[in-house]
Structure 1
Amino acid sequence: MKKNKTIAFVMAAGLLVGGTFVGTKALFTDKGTRTGDLVINTGSLKLQVSEREGWMVKTPGGKTETIVAGNELISNAKPGDKFLRAIEVKNIGTLTQKLSIEGGDDQNLKDWLKINVTKDDIQNRTLVPNEGVGFLIEVEVLEAMENGEQSKTFDLNTLMSEITINAEQLK
C-alpha cells in the first residue's frame, strides 16, 4: 500500500509540475482586422435652364434681329412678325438623366397670336453630365389680325402655360 501511495504521490507531483510548465509556456499570437475601405458619395441630378439670347424678331421680309435681352415690352409688333426665344437646358449634375417637358402648350389666340414650343428636341432626351440641349419658344403675330386689334397688349405670362423641364435618373 505504501508503494501505491508513493506512485500516486509521484504521479500527482509530476502532473502538478508538468501542468505548471505547460500552463506558463508563452505562445505568440496575432490578430488581423479589415474595414471596408469604401466611401460612397451619391450623384446628383441638376438642370440649368437659361436663355441663349434675348427675344429675336423675324419679320415677314426675313430680317432677324435680337431686340430684347429680358422680359421687357416689345413695341410696334405687326402682323407677320415672329418672336423667338432660344432656351438652353444643361445637365450640371453628375448623373446621366432623361428629360421630359410639360406645359407651354401650343395655342392659337383667336386670329391674333400663335404660340409654339418646340418640344421634340428635348422630350425623352438623354443628357450626360455637362451636355446641353435647346428648344424654342415661338410667338407669331398672325397676318389674319384685323384692323380693330391695333394697339393690343399680349402678356405671355398669362397666355401661355408654364414650361416645366423634368429630369429623371437613368438606371
Structure 2
Amino acid sequence: MRKNKTIAFTLAAMISVGAGALGTKGLFTDKETETNKFTITIGDLDVKSEVTKEWYVKSAGDKNIEGQPISEVNNKLQPGDVLAKDIKISNIGSLNQEIIITAGNRTSVDGFIVDDTDFRNIKRISAGNNEIATITLTLDSTMVDDKYNMKGEQANHTIDLDNIVGTYTIDAKQADTQK
C-alpha cells in the first residue's frame, strides 16, 4: 500500500509540474493577426512654370521706355539697358518641394550678358505656393556703336532673346518636412 501511495504522490506531482509548465507557457506567448488595418497616404509632386511677363525693359538709360515690351522699343536701346522676363514656378502638388533648376544650351551672342541668378536661387516651394523669378539680359557696349546703333550682323536682324537665354530644366523632389 505504501508503494501505491508513493506512486500516486509521484504521479500527482508530475501532473502539477506539467500543468504549471504548460500554463506558464500560455502566459508568455500570444499571437494576433491583423489585415488591412492601416493606410499610408502619400502626396504628389507637381511643379508648373509659366511666363508671367514676356521680355520687357527692366531698366534703361531712357527712363521713358522702362517697363515697356521689347517689341515697342527696339530702336531705343542703349548699352547698360536691362531686358527682363518674369517666370512663375508653382508647386501644384500636395508636398513641399525642393527645386533644382539647371540651364541648358545657350546661343552665344556677343553683346548680351545673361543673369539668371534670381531664377536659379529658388530652392524650396511649399505646397500650394509659387515663386516669381526674373531672367535678365544686359545690353553690352560691344553690340552698339557710339550713336547707340546696332553693329554688325545684329543691325538688320531680329534677335531671339529666348534663344540667347536657352532652356531650363526644373526638377522637383520632396522636401524634408522637418525643416
Interval of TM-score (by shorter of Structure 1 and Structure 2): 0.5 to 0.7
Where does 1:130-169 land on structure 2 (aligned, <5 Å)? 130-144=128-142, 145-146=144-145, 148-149=151-152, 150-169=155-174
TM score, norm. by length of structure 1: 0.62
Q: 1:93 to 1:85 in 2, by over 3 A?
A: same
- SS of 1:45's partner is coil
Residue 126 of structure 2: aligned partner: 128
As a proportion of its length, which structure holds more helix?
Answer: 2
TM score, norm. by length of structure 2: 0.60
- Structure 1 contact 121–134 (Cα < 8 Å) conserved: no
- Structure 1 contact 106–114 (Cα < 8 Å) conserved: no
**How far apart, in 2, do the equivalents of 1:105 and 1:89 lie?**
20
Residue 67 of structure 2: aligned partner: 65
CA offset digits 1:51-76 (Å, max 9, x no partner): 222322132134422426xxx79743
Q: 1:142 to 1:53 in 2, by over 3 A?
A: same
For residue 128 of structure 1, report the CA deviation from its aligned partner.
1.3
Q: How much identity, in percent, do the aligned residues show?
A: 21
RMSD: 3.1
Q: Which runs of 5+ in 2 are unaligned?
A: 1-32
Q: Report the more deviating stretch, 138-147 or 125-134.
A: 138-147
- Structure 1 contact 53–86 (Cα < 8 Å) conserved: yes
Q: 1:40 to 1:160 in 2, by over 3 A?
A: same
Residue 10 of structure 2: aligned partner: none
**How far apart, in 2, do the equivalents of 1:166 and 1:102 lie?**
8
Q: 1:84 to 1:74 in 2, by over 3 A?
A: same
**How far apart, in 1, do the equivalents of 2:84 and 2:175 lie?**
32
Structure 2: which amino acid aligns with 1:127? I
Q: Which has the larger radius of gyration?
A: 1
Aligned length in residues: 134
